Amino acid sequence: MNALVLTDIGKQHHGTPPVVALRSVTMTVGYGEFVAVIGPSGSGKSTLLAIAGTLERPTTGVVEVAGEPAGRISDRGLSAIRAGRIGFVFQQFFLIPAMSALENVACGLLYRGVPAGERRRAAGAALERVGLADRAQHRPGQLSGGECQRVAIARALIGEPAIILADEPTGNLDSAAGAGIVELLAGLNSAGATIVLVTHNSELAAAASRIVSLRDGAVIADSGAKTPHSNAKTPPGGTKTARSGAKTPSCDADGQEGGHV
Ligand code: ADP
């Protein structure tokens, strides 16, 4: 089983004339891979990531995340796939300003039916993984951009997703902070995390073990899957969907979805 399988993905946006964002993209990502998707602006990178993350549905083709085909699933079912299998990281961090770093990270487990105490314990461990154990009680406004992105990465990691999808994770950072994030992502991959990111940052792309180049909505080059790290693992969060019928736990982040609040 692979972490992500995209088969013959096409995406057309409505409009006059319609915009073809992706045309027949096929791509398989194995567990433990670190893939950078690069290409000029408008080539379809963000659309590809959104479709891989089941945030958008493709016009044609099939998306499979950790063995689960996303095609005929209801929106509610897709939310469960996202909550259980995918960790998102965005350029803009999307942290909740009124919450501490710990609470922001704990929100990554909101839709997994995990009790509050366990969410906080896991959040502490995730902050430690990104080197921010000593900033747990800080709010985003009290943290640097690089630290905010570390918090967002910890939130993406907390549920041990099958795959982490990141859209320009260094795009809002100065070069020193960006380099720290590159190092962090490379380290997480060495420890077994599967990562697919979209970037313009050549250092970040160079840290990846595979580069997929897009142009005009099509893959024009793929350096191919290299042997993933020997400790690549299928995370527990990647093999099950969110508990059906799990109560929505109380959290200040009402209405926010776990993993990409
Ligand atoms: P990239 O991330 O490589 O810059 P995008 O995936 O954002 O590219 O966009 C690919 C193409 O699809 C572009 O031509 C863009 O203008 C178009 N596009 C993206 N989203 C929409 C949308 N919601 N409606 C219409 N066109 C869109």
Q: CA torsion angle for 78, 58, 192, 197 (degrees, to 10)? A: -120
What single-letter DSSP state applies at residue 258?
A: T
> pLDDT value at position 227?
58
Closest CA to 207 of 183, 172, 223: 183
73 pLDDT band, cuts 50/70/90, is confident
3-state SS, residue 120: helix
> pLDDT value at position 1?
85
Distance CA 100, CA 25 (A): 40
Q: Ligand 1: distance of its center to the CA of 230 in Å?
A: 36
Decide if 218 contacts 25 (C-beta within 8 A): yes
Rounded alpha-carbon distances, angstroms, from residue 51 to 62, 78, 114: 10, 11, 27
Q: Ligand 1: distance of its center to the CA of 47 in Å?
A: 6
Closest CA to 248 of 81, 118, 115, 159: 115
pLDDT over 70 percentage in the chain = 86
Ligand 1, atom 10: closest residue by C-alpha: 44
> pLDDT value at position 225?
64
Residue identified by tokens 């409009």 is: 15
Q: Is the predicted pLDDT of residue 240 greater than 90, yes or no?
A: no
Q: Is the predicted pLDDT of residue 204 greater than 60, yes or no?
A: yes
Decide which of 170 and 227 is more confident: 170
CA max distance for the chain: 53
Q: Which of 23, 25, 46, 220 to mutate to test the pocket of ligand 1 (most atoms within 8 A of CB)?
A: 46
Classified by CATH at the fold level, domain 4-238 comes out as: Rossmann fold (3.40.50)
Q: Ligand 1: distance of its center to the CA of 43 in Å?
A: 8
Decide if 39 contacts 218 (C-beta within 8 A): no
> pLDDT value at position 129?
95
Exposed / middle / buried, residue 101 (Cβ in 10 Å: 0-12, 13-18, 19+): buried
Residue 220 is which amino acid? I
Domain limits of the chain?
4-238
Ligand 1 proximity of 21 Cβ (cutoff 6 Å): yes
Q: Is the predicted pLDDT of residue 239 greater than 50, yes or no?
A: no
Decide if 26 contacts 173 (C-beta within 8 A): no
Q: Is the peptide bond before 235 cis (omega within 30 degrees of 0)?
A: no
User: Closest ligand 1 atom, CA of 43?
Assistant: 3
Ligand 1 proximity of 43 Cβ (cutoff 6 Å): yes
Q: Region 209-218: what's the mean pLDDT?
A: 96
